[in-house]
């Protein structure tokens, strides 16, 4: 009796052991957990995009707790598990438009409206997307996969997730983590290329202070912006529609509560859900592949191309501008839509060479134009390859 | 005034409801028809009969319960599709198959008429009012055995004999991803895509640029006019000796003051007033017993 009880207990303990993380762990899980810890460290120690890296980093930890695949509905890829239900917002692509609603409600387009030619810098920086697209094609990716990878160069996490969920869902985890990681690393990636491609004389160009923009212009902007861009690229509607709608809530002046909700609790909630589920989607068994490594490489390259394209475009543009109207090429990097980080970098690098030359407001122009540009580019890729 | 507002609101609601209706039953299409079924699809009773496939091309679920199917122009209400059957709710881009076996008692999807293989067959779908024609088609006489007649692409206008018989599914199925193959064949390097896409991105932002250049000019001249009007000046001078830098410094100082940016600084003691919102839950007034009045 006692013996059979002990053997029963032993068998149960043995069975329980097979369910533990310790029993199911693989080197892949440990690597991913280390990556998650690195993200959390970078976010807390160096404050690299903590709002993104903390949820994603912790999500990576959650997603890489090893477990026995016994249909317990705990993994993010198991249908109807809690994480899987939350992940639907990513796979079905409805988190990104809600994030764009919040971005619209918190973005001040005044810098762009006061100096609309800065919009063209935002367009030029989109070369990063298509440069990476060309290279990805040469590396053997299918056109739809190459398009999804290229969008990392737009430096816009929600857009990258939205497009990859439509074009290449199997690469979405790697693309999302890559996009957010490089957005956090913008302060490291961009400055060397900004210095490399500009002369000392160019770096101290002082731009005219932006004029005061009337509230009527601010109200007109989202309406005309939506009509012009979406009539041209209707596939960009989910992102651009929500971006401009959020901005109208902000600028109309009569929907303050809605604007505050969109740029406050709503965007915070979605950011938490998006970050944690994107992080958890990097389950080692699905994530550690050669393709993920290639995507990380291409992501870095696309950021570099986008930065260089923005700066070189400003230099080219300056050839046609009169003295006094010239643009400081240090704001060219801000054409990537990592708002407002890349604009801050323009300011920091600019101050190194001219301590009273404040470029932040000027850089915000191409920065927000980059948001519009990358959403338009995503719409085009979706239209062509979707 | 209130009446006027109510009228506008009601008109808008009416317009919206008309738009919503357009998205519903009226969007349904007769999609594919098989008249002679000898060696093809069988129904739930193991019988082979002609069939009619309906297609919902809209983005919303459509309930066709209460609508009518007919093969008689003079009798639009010949077969009323039963209401309350969950299967009559057709999901977006999905199909419903009706058996033309003449035995309506076999269920919702069994019609009370058959298709005649010797002559042309008129088929129509009417809305629940029995008067609004949703879709109609005349299937030519001389149909071939086990070859269906349908729209080449689901919901689109071109009809013909289909290569594959596709009951309850798409009329056109692709063996390859034509779009991708096209790209791989004609734009292997990606230059075409890059040039096209960048041209569109630039075009979009150039249009915005031109538009806001115009808006900006109009706004500047309007503000000048307002300023002149306010000051009573007629000359075009834009007054003010204060430079942009000074204005920026003042704005920054006001911003910092407003946002309490410098509240916490190393080695500097600052005092911030702590303000607590009043709440009856924490109120002493409600927590204390009132002294009885005499």
pLDDT per position as a tens digit, B133-188: 999 999 999 898 999 999 999 988 899 999 889 999 998 877 777 777 888 888 88
Q: What is the DSSP letter of B164?
A: S
Mean pLDDT throughout A277-288? Answer: 84
Backbone φ, ψ for residue A17 (5° rounding): -60, -35
Q: Are B148 and B34 in contact (CB under 8 A)?
A: yes
Residue positions counted in chain A: 386
Q: Write the secondary structure of A67-112 as one string of H (helix), E (strand) and C (coil).
A: CCCCCCCCCCCCCCCHHHHHHHHHHCCCHHHHHHHHHHHHCCCHHH
Which residues on A lie below 8 Å from B226 (Cβ)?
none
Q: Are A141 and A133 in contact (CB under 8 A)?
A: no
Q: What is the pLDDT of residue B241?
A: 63
Q: What is the pLDDT of residue B123?
A: 94
- Inspect the interface and report whether the beta carbons of A116 and B198 lie closer than 8 Å: no
First to last CA, chain A: 66
Minimal CA–CA distance to A365: which of A251, A207, A233? A207
Select the residue of A116, A137, A224 nearest B216 (Cβ to Cβ).
Answer: A116
Minimal CA–CA distance to A52: which of A33, A39, A37? A39
Q: Tell me: the pLDDT tens digits for B254-280?
A: 887 776 655 555 556 566 666 666 666
Q: What is the pLDDT of residue B278?
A: 62
Q: Does B183 touch chain A (CB under 8 A)?
A: yes
d(CA A64, CA A83): 13
- Inspect the interface and report whether the beta carbons of B193 and A216 lie closer than 8 Å: no
Share of chain B above pLDDT 70, in %: 76
Report CA-CA distances (Å) from A292 to A87, A167, A286, A373: 20, 16, 10, 26
Rg, C-alpha atoms of chain A: 23
Q: Are B146 and B165 in contact (CB under 8 A)?
A: yes
Q: Are B92 and B56 in contact (CB under 8 A)?
A: yes
Q: Are A43 and A57 in contact (CB under 8 A)?
A: yes
Q: Are A150 and A129 in contact (CB under 8 A)?
A: yes
- Inspect the interface and report whether the beta carbons of A209 and B208 lie closer than 8 Å: no
Q: What is the pLDDT of residue B263?
A: 56
Scanning A85-124 for CB atoms below 8 A from B yields 112-114, 116-117, 119-120, 122-123
Q: Does B133 touch chain A (CB under 8 A)?
A: no
Q: Above 80 in pLDDT, residue A81?
A: yes
Q: Tell me: the pLDDT tens digits for A245-272?
A: 999 999 999 999 999 999 999 999 999 9
Report CA-CA distances (Å) from A231 to A48, A379, B139, B286: 37, 11, 39, 61
H or E, element range at A164 = helix A157-167
Q: Tell me: the pLDDT tens digits for B32-50?
A: 999 999 888 898 899 899 9
This prediction has a pTM of 0.70
Minimal CA–CA distance to A192: which of A52, A23, A311, A362? A311
H or E, element range at B176 = none
Question: Which of A110, A116, A243, A358 would best serve as a mutation to test chain B binding (most B beta carbons within 10 A)?
Answer: A116
Rg, C-alpha atoms of chain B: 36
Q: Does A126 touch chain B (CB under 8 A)?
A: yes
Q: How would you class B271 by CB atoms within 10 Å of its CB: exposed for 0-12, middle for 13-18, buried for 19 or more?
A: exposed
Q: Does B189 touch chain A (CB under 8 A)?
A: yes
Domain ranges of chain B: 2-173, 174-235
- What is the longest distance spanned by two Cα atoms in chain B? 107
- Inspect the interface and report whether the beta carbons of A120 and B248 lie closer than 8 Å: no
Q: Are A56 and A177 in contact (CB under 8 A)?
A: yes
Q: Are A56 and A39 in contact (CB under 8 A)?
A: yes
Q: Above 60 in pLDDT, residue A3?
A: yes
Query: Residue A209's closest chain B neighbor by CA?
Result: B244
> What was the ipTM of the complex prediction?
0.83
Scanning A339-368 for CB atoms below 8 A from B yields 358
Q: Above 70 in pLDDT, residue A300?
A: yes
Strand ranges inside chain A, DSSP E: none
Q: How would you class A37 by CB atoms within 10 Å of its CB: exposed for 0-12, middle for 13-18, buried for 19 or more?
A: middle
Minimal CA–CA distance to B116: which of B175, B35, B44, B217? B35
d(CA A80, CA A57): 23
Say which residue the tokens 């006019």 belong to.
B225
Q: Does B199 touch chain A (CB under 8 A)?
A: no
Close Cβ partners of A267 (under 8 Å, ≥ 6 residues apart): A98, A99, A101, A102, A103, A105, A106
Q: Above 90 in pLDDT, residue A196?
A: yes
Question: Which of B208, B245, B248 would best serve as a mutation to test chain A binding (most A beta carbons within 10 A)?
Answer: B208
Query: Residue B180's closest chain A neighbor by CA?
Result: A143
Distance from B212 to chain A by nearest Cα, in Å?
6
Q: What is the pLDDT of residue A336?
A: 87
Q: What is the pLDDT of residue A315?
A: 94
Q: What is the pLDDT of residue A19?
A: 86
- Inspect the interface and report whether the beta carbons of A380 and B245 lie closer than 8 Å: no
Distance from A119 to chain B by nearest Cα, in Å?
6
Q: What is the pLDDT of residue B275?
A: 63
Q: Are A249 and A258 in contact (CB under 8 A)?
A: yes
Scanning A62-81 for CB atoms below 8 A from B yields none
- Inspect the interface and report whether the beta carbons of B207 and A228 lie closer than 8 Å: yes
Close Cβ partners of A247 (under 8 Å, ≥ 6 residues apart): A104, A105, A107, A109, A221, A222, A225
Q: Above 60 in pLDDT, residue B238?
A: no
Q: Bridge partners of B80?
A: B68
Q: Are A376 and A138 in contact (CB under 8 A)?
A: no
d(CA A363, CA A340): 9
Query: Residue A222's closest chain B neighbor by CA?
Result: B208
d(CA B69, CA B66): 10
Distance from A66 to chain B by nearest Cα, in Å?
37
d(CA B102, CA B110): 7
Distance from B119 to chain A by nearest Cα, in Å?
43
Q: What is the pLDDT of residue A195?
A: 93
Minimal CA–CA distance to B69: which of B120, B109, B13? B109
Q: How confident is the model at residue B105 (pLDDT cuts 50, 70, 90)?
A: very high
Minimal CA–CA distance to A126: which of B266, B196, B230? B196
- Inspect the interface and report whether the beta carbons of A142 and B180 lie closer than 8 Å: yes
Strand, helix or coil at A145?
A: helix
Tokens of A27: 């080197």
Distance from A87 to chain B by nearest Cα, in Å?
23
Close Cβ partners of B102 (under 8 Å, ≥ 6 residues apart): B111, B112, B113, B114
Which residues on B lie below 8 Å from A133 (Cβ)?
190, 193-194
- Inspect the interface and report whether the beta carbons of A123 and B188 lie closer than 8 Å: no
Say which residue the tokens 């920054």 belong to.
B252
Minimal CA–CA distance to A279: which of A97, A55, A65, A85? A55
Q: Does A232 touch chain B (CB under 8 A)?
A: yes
Tokens of B123: 């088929």
* Angle, in degrees to the nearest 10, between helices B191-231 and A360-385: 140
Select the residue of B184, B191, B201 nearest A126 (Cβ to Cβ).
Answer: B201
Q: How confident is the model at residue B20 (pLDDT cuts 50, 70, 90)?
A: very low
Which residues on B lie below 8 Å from A214 (Cβ)?
219, 222-223
d(CA B136, CA B157): 12
Scanning B231-290 for CB atoms below 8 A from A yields 244-245, 247-248
Distance from A190 to chain B by nearest Cα, in Å?
22
Select the residue of B190, B197, B213 nearest A377 (Cβ to Cβ).
Answer: B197
Q: Tell me: the pLDDT tens digits for A129-183?
A: 999 999 999 999 989 999 999 999 888 888 898 899 889 988 888 898 888 888 8
First to last CA, chain B: 56
Q: Are A251 and A221 in contact (CB under 8 A)?
A: yes
For A334-362, b/e burial (b = at least 16 CB within 10 A) is bbbbbbbbbbbbbbebbeebbeebbbbbb
Q: What is the pLDDT of residue A181?
A: 82
Q: How confident is the model at residue A232 (pLDDT cuts 50, 70, 90)?
A: confident
Q: What is the pLDDT of residue A156?
A: 84
If one looks up domain B2-173 in CATH, what number appears? 2.60.40.1260
Q: How confident is the model at residue B21 (pLDDT cuts 50, 70, 90)?
A: very low
Mean pLDDT of chain B: 81
Say which residue the tokens 């507002």 belong to.
B5
């Amino acid at each position: 009796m006692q013996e059979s009880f002990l053997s029963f207990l032993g068998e149960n303990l043995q069975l329980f052991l097979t369910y533990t993380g310790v029993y199911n762990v693989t080197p892949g899980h440990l690597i991913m957990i280390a990556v998650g810890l690195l993200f959390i460290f970078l976010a807390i120690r160096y404050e690299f995009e903590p709002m993104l890296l903390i949820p994603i980093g912790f999500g990576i930890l959650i997603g890489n707790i090893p477990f026995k695949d016994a249909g317990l509905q705990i993994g993010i890829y198991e249908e109807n598990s809690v994480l899987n239900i939350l992940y639907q917002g990513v796979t079905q692509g409805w988190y990104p438009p809600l994030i764009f609603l919040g971005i619209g409600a918190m973005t001040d387009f005044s810098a762009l409206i006061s100096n609309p030619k800065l919009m063209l810098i935002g367009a030029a920086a989109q070369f990063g997307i298509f440069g990476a697209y060309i290279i990805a094609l040469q590396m053997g990716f299918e056109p739809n996969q190459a398009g999804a990878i290229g969008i990392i160069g737009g430096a816009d996490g929600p857009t990258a997730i939205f497009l990859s969920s439509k074009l290449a869902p199997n690469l979405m985890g790697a693309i999302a983590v890559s996009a957010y990681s490089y957005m956090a690393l913008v302060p490291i990636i961009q400055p060397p290329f900004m210095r490399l491609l500009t002369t000392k004389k160019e770096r101290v160009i002082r731009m005219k202070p932006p004029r005061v923009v009337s509230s009527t212009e601010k109200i007109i902007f989202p309406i005309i912006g939506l009509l012009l861009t979406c009539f041209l690229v209707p596939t960009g509607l989910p992102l651009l529609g929500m971006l401009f709608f959020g901005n109208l809530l902000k600028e109309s002046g009569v929907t303050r509560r809605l604007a505050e909700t969109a740029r406050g609790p709503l965007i915070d909630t979605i950011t938490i859900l998006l970050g944690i589920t994107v992080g958890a989607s990097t389950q080692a068994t699905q994530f550690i592949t050669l393709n993920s490594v290639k995507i990380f490489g291409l992501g870095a390259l696309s950021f570099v191309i986008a930065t260089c394209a923005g700066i070189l475009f400003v230099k080219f543009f300056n050839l046609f501008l009169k003295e006094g109207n010239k643009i400081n090429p240090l704001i060219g990097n801000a054409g990537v839509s990592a708002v407002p980080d890349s604009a801050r970098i323009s300011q920091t690098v600019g101050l190194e060479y001219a301590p009273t030359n404040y470029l932040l407001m000027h850089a915000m122009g191409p920065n927000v134009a980059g948001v519009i540009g990358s959403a338009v580019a995503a719409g085009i890729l979706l239209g062509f390859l979707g | 005034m209130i009446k006027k507002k109510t009228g506008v609101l009601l008109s808008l609601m009416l317009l919206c409801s008309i738009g919503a209706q357009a998205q519903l039953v009226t969007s349904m299409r007769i999609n594919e028809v098989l008249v002679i079924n000898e060696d093809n699809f069988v129904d739930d009773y193991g019988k082979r009969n002609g069939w009619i496939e309906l297609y919902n091309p809209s983005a919303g679920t459509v309930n066709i319960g209460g609508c009518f199917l007919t093969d008689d122009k003079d009798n639009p209400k010949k077969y009323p599709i039963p209401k309350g059957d969950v299967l009559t709710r057709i999901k977006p881009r999905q199909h419903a198959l009706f058996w033309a076996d003449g035995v309506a008692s076999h269920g919702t999807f069994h019609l009370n008429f058959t298709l005649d293989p010797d002559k042309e067959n008129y088929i129509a779908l009417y809305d629940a009012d029995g008067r609004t024609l949703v879709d109609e088609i005349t299937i030519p006489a001389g149909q071939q055995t086990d070859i269906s007649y349908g729209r080449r692409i689901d919901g689109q206008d071109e009809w013909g004999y289909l290569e594959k018989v596709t009951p309850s599914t798409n009329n056109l199925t692709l063996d390859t991803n034509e779009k991708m193959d096209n790209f791989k064949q004609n734009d292997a390097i990606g230059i075409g895509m890059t040039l096209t896409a960048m041209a569109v991105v630039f075009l979009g932002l150039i249009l915005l640029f031109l538009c806001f250049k115009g808006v900006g000019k109009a706004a500047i001249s309007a503000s000048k006019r307002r300023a002149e009007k306010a000051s009573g000046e007629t000359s075009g001078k834009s007054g003010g000796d204060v430079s942009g830098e000074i204005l920026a410094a003042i704005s920054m100082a006001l911003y910092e003051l407003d946002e309490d940016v410098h509240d916490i600084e190393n080695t500097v003691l600052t005092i911030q007033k702590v303000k607590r919102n009043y709440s009856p839950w924490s109120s002493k007034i409600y927590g204390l017993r009132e002294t009885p009045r005499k």
